């Protein structure tokens, strides 16, 4: 189906010599008279290129240029509009406030990281103070109790035997 549509377009271009507007004209698509006619030098020996015969292409180009000119003119008028100027100033002020806020956040993040490092250092010192530094010395204040209870409490006593009647 696609192949037959392509062939139909190809045959239509070959038959009429016309190319769609979105394609660039190929030398084989031009009329044979234009392709065969060499540019003849004038009496001064200067070869002049013939003007394009496709006036529709020139009109489309003119229309595009006029449209672009109108867009530029509208943009310039918008830039002078007091509401647009005020909006641009508000946007610039908001950007400046955002930049300031980001700088403050960065500073606070760095300070928070520094405080966390200090806290970890202090916690390490506290842990070192509460643990035994050498075995055989009495435990320091805050040391945890020994793992095995003293005396006979660590021995398992069997439960009382059941009384039989």
Question: Under a CB-based contact definition with an 8 Å cutoff, are residues 66 and 60 in contact?
Answer: no
Q: Tell me the backbone φ, ψ of residue 163, rounded to 5 degrees.
A: -85, 125
Is residue 47 helix, strand or coil?
Answer: strand
- The three-state DSSP-derived secondary structure of 46-89 is CECCCCCCCHHHHHHHHHHHHHHHHHHHHHHHHHHCHHHHHHHH
Q: Any idea what DSSP says for residue 155?
A: S
The pLDDT, as a whole number, for residue 4 is 63
The pLDDT, as a whole number, for residue 164 is 76
The pLDDT, as a whole number, for residue 113 is 94
Kindly report the pTM of this predicted structure.
0.34
For the chain, give every domain's residue range. Answer: 1-31
Of the candidates 106, 107, 103, 84, the one whose C-alpha atom is nearest the C-alpha of residue 95 is 103
Q: Any idea what DSSP says for residue 31?
A: -
The pLDDT, as a whole number, for residue 81 is 86
The pLDDT, as a whole number, for residue 12 is 59
The pLDDT, as a whole number, for residue 116 is 95
The pLDDT, as a whole number, for residue 54 is 74
* Digitized pLDDT (tens) for each residue of the chain, 165 residues in all: 455 665 565 555 545 555 454 555 555 555 555 454 556 666 777 776 666 667 778 888 888 999 999 999 888 888 888 888 899 999 999 999 999 999 999 999 999 999 999 999 999 888 877 765 556 666 555 555 556 556 665 566 667 777 776
């Amino acid at each position: 189906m696609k192949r037959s549509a392509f062939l139909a377009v190809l045959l239509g271009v070959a038959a009429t010599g016309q190319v769609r507007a979105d394609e660039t004209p190929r030398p084989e698509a031009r009329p044979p008279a234009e392709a065969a006619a060499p540019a003849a030098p004038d009496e001064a020996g200067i070869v002049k290129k013939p003007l394009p015969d496709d006036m529709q292409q020139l009109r489309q180009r003119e229309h595009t240029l006029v449209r672009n000119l109108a867009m530029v003119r509208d943009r310039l008028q918008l830039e002078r509009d007091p509401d647009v100027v005020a909006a641009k100033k508000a946007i610039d002020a908001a950007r400046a406030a955002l930049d300031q806020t980001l700088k403050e956040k960065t500073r606070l993040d760095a300070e928070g990281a520094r405080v966390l490092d200090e806290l970890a250092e202090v916690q390490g010192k506290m842990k070192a103070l509460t643990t035994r530094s050498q075995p055989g010395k009495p435990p320091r204040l805050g040391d945890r109790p020994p793992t095995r209870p003293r005396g006979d409490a660590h021995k398992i006593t069997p439960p009382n035997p059941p009384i039989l009647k």
